[in-house]
Chains A and B, each alone.
Chain A
Amino acid sequence: MVDAFAYVPAVVLLPFFSFLVALGAGKYLPKGGAFGGIAATAGSFLLSIWIATAVAGGRAYDETLYTWAAGDQFELTFGALIDPLSALMLVIVTLVALLVHVFSLGYMNDEGETGLPRYYAGLGLFTASMLGFVVADNLLMAFMFFELVGLCSYLLIGFHFREPGPPSAAKKAFLVTRFGDYFFLVGVVAVFATFGTAAFAGEGSFPALAEAALAGSGDVWTPGGLGVETWFTVVGLLVLGGVVGKSAQFPLHTWLPDAMEGPTPVSALIHAATMVAAGVYLVARMYGFYALTPTTLAVIAFVGGFTALFAATMGVVKDELKQVLAYSTISQYGYMMLALGAGGYVAAVFHLTTHAFFKALLFLGAGSVIIAMHHNEDMWDMGGLRSKMPVTYYTFLAGSLALAGIFPFAGFWSKDEILYEALVHGLNEPLLLGGYVMGLLAVPVTAFYTFRMVFLTFHGEPRSATARDPEPVRWNVKGPLTVLGSLAVVTGFINMVPVQKVLGLEGIDYLHRWLDNEWGGIEGLSSHHYADIGPYSSGYIAGGEVPTVLVGAAVSLGLALAGLGLAWRLYNVASPTEHTAKLGGIKDVLYNNYYLDELQVWIAYRTEDIAGGSDTFDQGIIDGVVNGVSSVSLAGGSRVRRIQTGLVTQYATMLTLGLIALLVVLGLNGGWFL
């Protein structure tokens, strides 16, 4: 049989070709090249499935496919690394991308948008870049596609470039993430300088080398006699910079809400499966390196936990549908970071998976609502859509339940596992425990703003004419919603660890086994290996593991329900009111996102002031000196010419004086007068 891995490049290239087609011939194609994109992503999806099955068949793939620059110092190469993690991610990305393409038929084409070829070209390139990032077998290649993802987000967020908003949002998205990527790039360079390679997998990979170096065997370059451990921590944090930027972690999260300027399907793609996921995926990808540096892990965990809570609080007061979802995204990725920091590698990947589905679902649902509401996103103009658009409602509800982490929806399982990991590992890790606490506090808030959103949108009385008579949506909207809705319900069951632990049913933690190379994978890239090298030891409360599981689950579920209940009381009424007044002074702070955007704007302005200052300096001082030299010499020239008075007698005088001077000089020099 033909080798599935032979088609790994095809997975990446198919969407790329759809990009070329849409760009080149899109305007001659039906639906502006949509079908090309759908076909390409469908193809990639199928191939990914096939590859996943191949991995399940006990095989893995790690090949260098193309040498970018063959130096003697380092070889810079492109390659594909297929292990359980990347295989899973491939399936997720391709699936979401496919559904988004289909949905776009309804959201873009049917809405009569212009510039569709550009749109589908962007989607295609976006998907291709993300897939390239997923299969990357070394840090440099990962960085390259990471950057291309950034470019695509710029292009798609700024899709409506004729309006003032989107271009500025796009600029902000690229700039903020670029700021993070700066540290990432320094990290990449540092990795090369330190290890001479950036490969993820294998004996010669930099995690392996790092492990060896820490074990004392094998030496690596470190700047200025820095300790190996310290230096690895620095490198890890540098790479983390890119993650914080792309995965919109505090303090570089500000670009993400603005990114809502982009078309809704794009938001779905960005948030669920591609750009924002990329950051977390990167950490998971090189987890073998991070696991070696406890400090980094602790920082990751704390930042993640903080971001989870911090973003959730901001989601509470937003009025636009997509804004709420945006902050929920930030918050959810905070959870994933918390998991990774807490050594919950599997938990993070788990949440990445479930979140991919339910967040895509929520965004597409929101898109469907937005279609219905004629692109009015204000939830206060909605209400009572439940009866008008049942499909959207029930799928959206499923997604919301998952997001809120209500048993037994997908989100519950993954979030619960994250908190569990954070708890058991955090008991003797203060920083980690802090992350856990914040994560826990975020649970009710999440549930609250989620259902505030649901109730305001679908329940109660319609609060506007359009809400009374919304525009119907077609199959191309409902289809994807249905698929994702069902996934949001069931995905959780791939990894029912609590059930396993409580009931002692062995082997239903499929994801664990999957990521543990139980079926196949690459040595050194398995969860238990990470657990081995990881710094954490588990502690339990309430005596023993099972109680801990139960308590943890109960607490988080209880908090979630509490939040839901509050939302129910406040907003599940015929004509809800804002209630934000109760928040008092905090309200404004939350409305203004803790004034972080203002802070960044302030920084930008100060930078421009410095630039202006240096420009004045350049023109005034530096160039002034240059021009000054010329004017001084000209002035000197006009002094000199005055010697030529025109009076011949004075000429004779000066001539004589000159001659005498010459005589004196030579006389003294030669000593004639002695």
Chain B
Amino acid sequence: MILEALIGFTFLAALLVLLVPNEWAGRLAFALSAVPFVGSLYLWSRFDAAGNALTGGTIAFESRYEWVEVGGRTVSWFVGLDGISLPLVVLTTFLVPLAILSAWTPVDSRQSQFYGLMLFMEANLLGVFTALDFFLWFVFWEAVLVPMYFLIGIWGGPRRKYAAIKFFVYTNAASLLMFIGFMSLTFALGDSIGSLALPEITRALADGGLETWFGISPDRMAMVAFLAMFAGFAVKVPIVPVHTWLPDAHVEAPTPVSVLLAGVLLKMGTYALLRFNFTMLPEQASALAVPIAAIAVISVIYGAMLALAQKDLKRIVAYSSVSSMGYVILGLVVFTEYGVGGATFQMVAHGLISGLMFMAVGVVYNATHTRMVGDMAGMADRMPLTVGILVAGAFGYMGLPLMAGFAGEFFIFVGAFGAPSLPYAPVFTALAMFGIVIVAGYLLSAMQKTLFGPFRLETDYEVGPAPFHDVAPLAVLLAAIIVLGVAPDIFFEMIRDAAMPVVEGVSVDV
């Protein structure tokens, strides 16, 4: 029930915020969004899952009600948490209040709609990370698009409409591809499943429930479905070459939306990859290990090179997200404890760090109304605190030890380097690791140009220290990043617990 309460409350909060007058919306939304965070902390404290939810582990806060029966398959409201989803739930509920706080300054019109949509999106994100029935999950998965479309389209930058429609159509097309792939898979399972509950499907697949279906042999079916789903999720992640919607969306989106987009929405893709491709079809995944690892490495290096070429701070961070997601893919495909666990950890870590970066860039933008590297210099002179945190965040992005980013990346590297299941693992890993040099390159030079040196600003605005409610979320995020970096086990322990079954291939108990 508690999960229903969490999601339901968030929906109601969204509704309520939609109805209040603009001037209250910001504060009210912040207050309301604190509740889910507290709730998720409570979940954390009561968390009692063991193993992976899909492979017969004990699911925390499980609750299930039949919803629709279609074609001999029951679709049910089926939610629950395991060590992989809980950290992401906490991440979501943690980022949203901060994002809302960071919206107080930039969002100056139609506030109640803005904050309402933010909360509506949060509710759906929670749904995505808690749902354990395919259709329920898919409902939330698609429902996230709607608020995002408005958030980018209404409050975005000059090319917001183009960015919004591009994001909207592109990701929806991907979802449809994934849907067809997954559905064919479930039907090829024939009578071995009676519902669309993910654990059941996973088990059926593990038990070799695939039958020849309209002349498609089981192996072929599994491979086709894997590819379709991989392609579908790849767009969401996004990984090269289906990443081009991301920079546009990021650049046009208002700061708080970018925060959630980079912080949580991208994680939907990697989360789905982990849940579907790598947990349900491990054989296909390891059969395709080399091409996938190649894609991952390309994403890392190519994304970093693109970031190096950018002049817009937000674009830089956007492309570096592509780069970081490449690490996650690499971690997933190697099927080792540190690889998969590190990838999941990296989702959280990158969520926090990229959130911090976008937020900090946003604070600078609020003051200068430009994000172009050439337009400003020596910002450190005028807004020392903000710049200080921005620098710290940048070093976190570069994988500075004792910050969350390093933990995630190191776990992935150390898990990937000696991975038995991936041929040429050391080569791939070493290549991917070179990303840490390029990221240092573009972040440092961007900082040097914009933050340091004598103060200069092309746009004529008075730049002073940022207001408290702008800096506070930055500080909180930074603190969280450092805590996670010093003590990664607070999440990594449960993640490992849930990741091990994936590594061992789907276990067939229960």
Complex A–B touching at CB under 8 A: yes
Residues of A participating in the B interface, judged by any CB pair closer than 8 Å: 67-74, 76, 140, 143-145, 147-148, 151, 158, 161-164, 166-168, 170-171, 174-175, 178-179, 182, 185-186, 188-190, 192-194, 221, 223-224, 604, 607-608, 610-612, 614-615, 618, 622-623, 626, 630
Q: Which of B402, B453, B492, B496 contacts A144 (CB 8 A)?
A: B402
Contacts of A189 in B (CB 8 A): 410, 413-414, 417, 429, 433
- How many A-B pairs fall under 8 Å by CB? 148
In the complex, A235→B461 CA distance in Å? 53
Q: Which of A162, A185, A623 contacts B436 (CB 8 A)?
A: A185
B61 at interface by CB-CB < 8 Å: no
Is B378 a contact of A162 with CB atoms below 8 Å? Answer: yes
Q: Give the most central of A71, A151, A171, A190: most B CB within 10 Å.
A: A71
Interface mask (B245-263 → A, CB under 8 Å = 1, otherwise 0) = 1000000000000000000
Closest to B391 in A: A155
In the complex, A435→B400 CA distance in Å? 35
In the complex, A324→B455 CA distance in Å? 32
Closest to B311 in A: A615
Q: Show 27 A/B contacts (Cβ-Cβ < 8 Å), sorted by A.
A: A68-B487, A68-B488, A69-B411, A73-B337, A73-B414, A144-B402, A145-B401, A147-B401, A148-B402, A162-B452, A167-B452, A171-B445, A174-B444, A175-B437, A178-B436, A178-B440, A185-B436, A189-B413, A192-B414, A193-B417, A193-B418, A194-B418, A224-B426, A608-B308, A614-B306, A618-B306, A623-B244
B208 at interface by CB-CB < 8 Å: no
Is B306 a contact of A630 with CB atoms below 8 Å? Answer: no
Chain B, range 429-455, C-beta contacts under 8 Å to A: 429-430, 433-434, 436-437, 440-441, 444-445, 447-448, 451-455
Is B302 a contact of A174 with CB atoms below 8 Å? Answer: no
Closest to B241 in A: A622
Contacts of A69 in B (CB 8 A): 407, 411, 488-489, 492
Contacts of A162 in B (CB 8 A): 378, 380-381, 452-455
B205 to chain A, nearest CB (A): 26
Knowing that A171-B445, A224-B424, A618-B244 touch, tell me 19 more A-B residue pairs with CB under 8 angstroms: A68-B487, A68-B488, A68-B489, A69-B407, A71-B496, A72-B500, A143-B401, A147-B406, A148-B400, A148-B402, A161-B453, A162-B452, A175-B440, A185-B410, A192-B414, A193-B426, A611-B308, A622-B240, A626-B170
Is B489 a contact of A182 with CB atoms below 8 Å? Answer: no
Question: Which applies to chain A's interface (DSSP): helix, strand, loop or mixed?
Answer: helix
Is B414 a contact of A615 with CB atoms below 8 Å? Answer: no
Q: Give the most central of B378, B401, B434, B496: most A CB within 10 Å.
A: B401
Q: Which of A140, A147, A610 contacts B400 (CB 8 A)?
A: A147
Is A190 a contact of B417 with CB atoms below 8 Å? Answer: yes
In the complex, A614→B407 CA distance in Å? 30
B449 to chain A, nearest CB (A): 9
Contacts of A626 in B (CB 8 A): 166, 170, 244-245
Contacts of B430 in A (CB 8 A): 186
Contacts of A70 in B (CB 8 A): 489, 493
A549 to chain B, nearest CB (A): 44
Q: Which of A68, A158, A182, A623 contacts B437 (CB 8 A)?
A: A182
Is A144 a contact of B440 with CB atoms below 8 Å? Answer: no
Closest to B402 in A: A144
Is A185 a contact of B413 with CB atoms below 8 Å? Answer: yes
Q: Which of B400, B414, B434, B444 contacts A193 (CB 8 A)?
A: B414
Is A614 a contact of B305 with CB atoms below 8 Å? Answer: yes
In the complex, A614→B414 CA distance in Å? 29
Interface mask (B82-112 → A, CB under 8 Å = 1, otherwise 0) = 0000000000000000000000000000000
B436 to chain A, nearest CB (A): 6
Closest to A146 in B: B401
Closest to A238 in B: B430
In the complex, A630→B406 CA distance in Å? 40
Q: Give the most central of A70, A145, A611: most B CB within 10 Å.
A: A611
Closest to A198 in B: B414
Is B309 a contact of A614 with CB atoms below 8 Å? Answer: yes
Q: Which of A175, A185, A223 contacts B426 (CB 8 A)?
A: A223
Is B448 a contact of A167 with CB atoms below 8 Å? Answer: yes
Chain B, range 384-405, C-beta contacts under 8 Å to A: 395, 398, 400-402
